[in-house]
Structure 1
Amino acid sequence: MLYTRELDTTILFYVETLGFTLAERNDDWGWASLYKDEVAMMLAVPNEHTVFEKAMFTGSFYFNTDDVEALWNQLKDKVKICYPIETFEWEMREFAIYDNNGYILQFGQNMESR
């Protein structure tokens, strides 16, 4: 569950920029669910019981992909980059971006299995 104060903008980012599909949305709850391939996620506007000032997550969300180069080329000019594509010593070729809320999204491909 990712919290956001901008549900519409966040849905648009994940659908239009990353290719997710909106599965369900409930404006009364301030909630939506999205999916892409085997990834499912939920978005929610914080309610009165949730302490939330801005996107706060002490890690990143990591997505494995079969073609990290193609994804990098598709996204690099459309998003805010955290770090550009590179191959790390542990044989992962990856890059990271920020979503519209500031959450870090990493995308990687294992180069050993190629």
Structure 2
Amino acid sequence: MLRALVPMLRVPDVPAALAWYREVLGFRSDEDGSTGWATLQRDGIALMLSAFNAHEGDAAPAFTGSLYLRCDDVDGWWSRLQGAARVCYPIEDFAYGMREFAIYDCNGFLLQFGQPIAREAAP
């Protein structure tokens, strides 16, 4: 039985990335990143940060996807983050039923924030 999927991002400076996720997104962690690894939590979700290791070398991040964070107040998140991070695209409504925006973290990973668009009740 699978219990969770926890993304692990390889970063060149774990303490710096840890500080960014704490300060900008409000994640918590009991670690300081000095061991080259840290787990962060917020609102029941988890994220791991790890330094590059001997198996991988110092390659640039090769992750080609994004981390998609579903949230309850996407407009509130947008208000808070639009001046705190580099924006990929501003908040907008999409035909597939989501209101979302995207930013880049301090290492260039794409973070998308989205919320289902409220549908009006049928008369």
The TM-score, its normalising length taken from structure 2, stands at: 0.85
Q: 2 CA distance for matches of 1:19 and 1:110?
A: 22
Residue 41 (str. 1) matches residue 47 (str. 2): yes
Matched, 1:60 2:57: no
**In the alignment, is the contact (CA less than 8 A) between 1:56 and 1:103 conserved in 2?**
no
Q: Is the 8 A contact 2:72 2:115 kept in 1?
A: yes
Q: Tell me the percent identity.
A: 43
Q: Give the equivalent residue in structure 2 for 1:16.
A: 23
- Aligned with 1:24: secondary structure? coil
Q: Is the 8 A contact 1:4 1:55 kept in 2?
A: yes
TM-score normalised to structure 1 length: 0.91
Aligned pair 1:83/2:71, yes or no?
A: no
Task: Provide closer, same or farther for how the CA distance between residues 94 and 26 of structure 1 changes in structure 2, counting only shifts above 3 A.
Answer: closer
Q: Give the partner amino acid of 1:106.
A: Q
Q: Which amino acid aligns with 1:31?
A: W
Instruction: State the superposition RMSD in angstroms.
Output: 1.6
**Residue 71 (structure 1) aligns with:** 77
Name the counterpart of 1:7. Answer: 14
Indicate the structure with greater strand content.
Answer: 1
Alignment-mate amino acid for residue 12 of structure 1: A
Q: Is the 8 A contact 1:97 1:106 kept in 2?
A: yes
Runs (5+) with no aligned partner, structure 2: 1-7
Shift of 1:24: 3.3
Q: Which runs of 5+ in 1 are unaligned?
A: none
Q: Which has the larger radius of gyration?
A: 2
Stretches of 4+ aligned residues off by more than 4 angstroms = none
Give the letter aligned to residue 57 of structure 1.
F
Give aligned pairs, total: 113
